[in-house]
Structure 1
Amino acid sequence: MNQAVRVAARTKPATHALIVLHGLGDTGQGWSFLADELQDEPCFMNTNFIFPNAPHMPITANGGAHMPGWFDIEEWDPHMRKFDVNGYMQSLSEVEKYVQEQISLGIQPQNIIVGGFSQGAALALGCALNLKEKIGGIFALSGFIHPGVKEVIWPNEEQEKLKSCNLGTKIFHGHGDWDPIVALEKGKQAEEFMTGSCGFKDYSFHEYHGMEHSVCPQELKDLSSYIKSCWNMK
């Protein structure tokens, strides 16, 4: 596993874990503010926060420039006709290791939430199809997902049965209507794919007026409420 930025639970033992995946060109440190934001609330004092760092790789769509990325993006194509299957699946395996790590520390799978922003959100949504344990929740901020993911992760009925345990898991998707990088349409396509093609039953899509490719205070407030609902916190 790549070195991750970690913020340990302020109160021991840790009973919950939040794994957050950054976007293309960013680092785990760029999202560590979320730990400070949430740990101000007493209900999150027993939560471990893990912010993995993506490996550096050449990104084809950016002229081959090396930057942190979970998988290659071959071209900025709104129809996403090309898909780095190997890079995506390798990163999914890395995320699963972080989930297993937290389980090995005594945290119950239902007390683990995986989420991400942009490219990290695409990975988080893939985790919903790939993990073999039912976890507490999945969130995607300004996210998308390639429609070819289902055939790759669920190539046959056996794999679909093995990895479909999160079909009832709560999924939160937040997206800005002014996003110039991952258009709102891509977010809505992700919702349609996850609920229609894949059969996820509890997918909530939140549209934020005036928000670009970023987060806003209302989205963070809604995300906090979502996490509490997943973990039955007040």
Structure 2
Amino acid sequence: MSTINATDSLDYIELNPEQEADACVIWLHGLGDSGEGFAGVPPYLGLPEEHRIRFIFPHAPERPVTINAGYIMRAWYDIKSLDLEGRAPLDEVLVSCEQVTHLIEQQLAKGIPSERLLLAGFSQGGVITLHLAPRFKKPLAGVVALSTYLCQPELMATEQAPENSTLEVFFGHGSQDDVVPYIAGQHAVETLTQNGHKVDFQTYPVAHTVSMEELEAVGKFIAERLPVLS
């Protein structure tokens, strides 16, 4: 298996609105999934018909995953231990963050203002979005974090960029999640709040998945932060 480099481009699925896009959501999937896993979600978000949001669903690189007997699958980082403190290795998280940063920069180059770009992520994908967004040096529209946790939360206080130090976050978590424990979501929300972020923390009676009720709430959050411009 070749080494994964920060300069490697990510393949992705792109869904465009009927009119020319003036906003963008980049949505990262979880371990073992692909961009296909969430590419069918937009119709269930309840967005206005006239929305002009482009959706980008990247595919994580393929790599051996230690806790899954070294099987090669799509993952934003390897998981060597289920211990939350060491579950997301910082060096690999940073590589994935840089790869996603390239996707953001591509959208900015296509004319999408940073203030009209929102990051979303589920599980591993949420770890990447929560690590990247507060540190990004141009203001973003917001973050959707689903069933996820933080990589080295103690770093946020000194590393987040002024441009996103008050970034708004929708955080959804299942109360029956046995993959990413609910308490991990609670701890992430506490850290984000302590560092100046306004977090809408919503709990759902599900396991490690996303419910229709949750998607409707996510859609409202996205519509409020990426409104249709007159």
Give the structure-2-normalised TM-score. Answer: 0.89
CA contact (8 A) 1:128 1:167 kept: no
Give the structure-1-normalised TM-score. Answer: 0.88
Q: Unpaired runs of 5+ in structure 2?
A: 1-8
Q: CA deviation at 1:225?
A: 0.8
* Aligned amino acid, residue 169 of structure 2: I
1:80 counterpart SS class: helix
CA contact (8 A) 2:47 2:220 kept: no
**Which position in structure 2 is the counterpart of 1:195?**
193
Q: CA deviation at 1:142?
A: 0.5
Match of 2:100 among 76, 95, 104: 95
The answer as to 2:149 corresponding to 1:147 is no
Match of 2:22 among 2, 6, 15: 15
**Which position in structure 2 is the counterpart of 1:176?**
174
**Which position in structure 2 is the counterpart of 1:116?**
121
Alpha-carbon distance change, 66 to 205 in structure 1, aligned in 2, over 3 angstroms: same
Q: CA deviation at 1:41?
A: 3.2
**Which position in structure 1 is the counterpart of 2:34?**
27
Q: CA deviation at 1:36?
A: 3.2
**Which position in structure 2 is the counterpart of 1:219?**
214
Alpha-carbon distance change, 71 to 124 in structure 1, aligned in 2, over 3 angstroms: same
Match of 2:223 among 215, 222, 228: 228
* Aligned amino acid, residue 188 of structure 2: A
* Aligned amino acid, residue 196 of structure 2: F
**Which position in structure 2 is the counterpart of 1:70?**
76
CA contact (8 A) 2:144 2:169 kept: yes
2:41 counterpart SS class: helix
Aligned length, in residue pairs:
221
* Aligned amino acid, residue 28 of structure 1: G
How far, CA to CA, are the matches of 2:99 and 2:151 in structure 1? 19
* Aligned amino acid, residue 20 of structure 1: W
Alpha-carbon distance change, 153 to 22 in structure 1, aligned in 2, over 3 angstroms: farther
How far, CA to CA, are the matches of 1:187 and 1:173 in structure 2? 8
Q: CA deviation at 1:2?
A: 1.5
**Which position in structure 2 is the counterpart of 1:157?**
none
Alpha-carbon distance change, 189 to 151 in structure 1, aligned in 2, over 3 angstroms: closer
* Aligned amino acid, residue 34 of structure 2: T
How far, CA to CA, are the matches of 1:83 and 1:114 in structure 2? 19
How far, CA to CA, are the matches of 2:61 and 2:75 in structure 1? 6
Q: CA deviation at 1:224?
A: 0.7
Measured against aligned partners, the alpha-carbon deviations of 1:101-133 in whole angstroms (never above 9, x if no partner) come to 111111111110001000001111112222111
Give the ranges of 4+ consecutive aligned residues of structure 1 lying more than 6 Å apart after TM superposition.
none
Q: CA deviation at 1:192?
A: 1.2
Q: CA deviation at 1:62?
A: 1.6
CA contact (8 A) 1:129 1:150 kept: no
What percentage of residue pairs aligned between the two structures are identical?
A: 28
Mapping 1:124-139, distance limit 5 Å: 124-139=129-144
How far, CA to CA, are the matches of 1:5 and 1:179 in structure 2? 28
Q: CA deviation at 1:200?
A: 2.8
1:42 counterpart SS class: coil
How far, CA to CA, are the matches of 2:164 and 2:144 in structure 1? 13
